[in-house]
């Protein structure tokens, strides 16, 4: 991928990671990109870098535009290694004494990541930096999604460099929202659900803060995925809606796994009961669906129904994994229910119920458990549970 001019003096010099399929537990079926941005003003600025193994490609892209040694400043919006890993190679090439602007927490974190004694310039939220014709403004976004996170705003061009916010794990030749079209939104939703959902209250505060600052935004440049140039308001509005976590009425997701199909038969019967009252249900078997794809459905669902067989007096491993993962993302405003099959002990439905309850879910019904293969009475009970769930989400 060659450098892409995104505004008069601004270029995306980042790289595509076409083949990555797992990003610390998040499935990246379409790969991802590590976006880095070069501003060629009187002062030449590099905003963020890339993973360490792509440092030479980043330098090649920069070299196609300028001599890397002519870079005056580096901005580090976020310390995570997919954006800072190339710093040692970059600083060695451009000059170890060049200033690195970052948040105060960024200074602390970068110092712990790298042993080099670089020329850090910690900035305050609202502080500005003149580049000549242009001006950068720094906006602290602590815990969105790391303590060091910040945005950088190019005032005259109305461009927001948003670090990990508003991004997607997507690698493609398409660099802009108006090129890729509406197909990018499911990737953006999945990204939000798995990385930013737990920070939803902070996102709502941040959007309010930006509104009060009267920042005009003509373009949003995240560190992953496409750039929002046609309609940046679309992704901002989506973040507000997703952050409210109101859920879609008449929609439930049934997350389950099964050993000998008994729990699966229960899941299908629950789904049928939900459908009977006019609501929608999506059964998702955990060994067929990656947990990060399930979370994209959880984001929109009004109810999350979890089923597990009992294995060794406890949860089936994939269900335990999913519950741990979901708990960390802190979904809000959800209804819940639990079910499962068992051979001789049957603890899992109760454990699932208690886990969902501990997450703040409003539980629709007591846990439903069935011994061995569901008979007609058991299927009838599952249908009844489904109907109650359908009525609750309608």
Helix (H, G, I), strand (E, B) or coil at 108: helix
List 61, 78, 107, 290, catalytic entry:
78
List 17, 41, 48, 82, catalytic entry:
82
Query: What is the full DSSP assignment across 338-384?
Result: EEEEESS---HHHHHHHHHHHTT-EE-S--EEEESS--HHHHHHHHH
Residue 234 CB burial class (10 angstroms; 0-12, 13-18, ≥19):
middle
Tokens of 86: 């190339």
List 34, 191, 256, 268, catalytic entry:
191
List 17, 164, 264, 347, catalytic entry:
164
Q: Residue 78 catalytic?
A: yes
List 83, 187, 224, 290, catalytic entry:
224
List 12, 41, 48, 80, catalytic entry:
80
Helix (H, G, I), strand (E, B) or coil at 69: helix
Q: Residue 83 catalytic?
A: no
Q: Residue 191 catalytic?
A: yes
- C-beta of residue 286 within 8 angstroms of C-beta of residue 255: yes
Closest C-alpha among 211, 200, 312, 318 to residue 255 = 318
Q: Residue 92 catalytic?
A: no
Q: Residue 82 catalytic?
A: yes
List 61, 83, 107, 145, catalytic entry:
145
DSSP assigned state of 187: H
Q: Residue 145 catalytic?
A: yes
Q: Which residues are catalytic?
A: 24, 78, 80, 82, 145, 164, 191, 224
């Amino acid at each position: 991928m060659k450098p892409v001019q995104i505004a008069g003096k601004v270029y995306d010099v980042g790289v595509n990671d076409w083949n990555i399929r797992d990003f610390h537990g998040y499935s990246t079926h379409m790969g991802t990109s590590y976006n880095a941005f070069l501003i060629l003003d009187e002062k030449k600025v590099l905003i963020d870098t890339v993973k360490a193994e792509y440092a030479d490609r980043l330098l090649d892209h920069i070299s196609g535009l300028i001599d890397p040694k002519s870079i005056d400043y580096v901005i580090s919006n976020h310390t995570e290694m997919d954006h800072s890993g190339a710093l040692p190679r970059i600083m060695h090439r451009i000059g170890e004494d060049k200033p690195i602007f970052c948040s105060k927490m960024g200074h602390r974190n970068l110092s712990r990541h790298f042993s080099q004694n670089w020329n850090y310039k910690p900035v305050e939220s609202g502080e500005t930096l003149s580049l000549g014709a242009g001006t950068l403004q720094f906006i602290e976004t602590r815990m969105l999604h790391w303590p060091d996170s910040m945005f950088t705003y190019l005032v005259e061009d109305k461009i927001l460099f948003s670090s990990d916010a508003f991004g997607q794990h997507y690698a493609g030749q398409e660099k802009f929202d108006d090129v890729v079209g509406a197909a990018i939104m499911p990737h953006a939703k999945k990204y939000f659900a798995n990385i930013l959902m737990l920070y939803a209250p902070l996102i709502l505060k941040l959007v309010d803060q930006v509104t009060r600052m009267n920042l005009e935004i003509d373009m949003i440049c995240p560190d992953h995925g496409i750039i929002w140039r046609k309609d940046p308001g679309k992704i901002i509005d989506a973040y507000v809606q997703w952050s409210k976590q109101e859920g879609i009425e008449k929609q439930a997701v049934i997350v389950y796994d099964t050993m000998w199909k008994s729990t699966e038969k229960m899941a299908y019967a629950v789904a049928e009961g939900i459908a009977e009252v006019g609501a929608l249900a999506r059964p998702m078997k955990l060994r067929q669906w990656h947990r990060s794809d399930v979370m994209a459905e959880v984001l929109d669902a009004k109810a999350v129904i979890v089923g597990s067989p009992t294995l060794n007096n406890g949860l089936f491993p994939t269900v335990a994994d999913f519950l741990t993962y979901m708990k960390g993302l802190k979904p809000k405003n959800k209804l819940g229910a639990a079910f499962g099959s068992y051979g001789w002990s049957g603890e899992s439905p109760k454990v699932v119920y208690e886990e969902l309850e501990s997450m703040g879910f409003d539980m629709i019904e007591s846990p439903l458990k069935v011994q061995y293969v569901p008979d007609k009475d058991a299927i009838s009970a599952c249908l009844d549970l489904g109907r109650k769930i359908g009525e609750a989400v309608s």
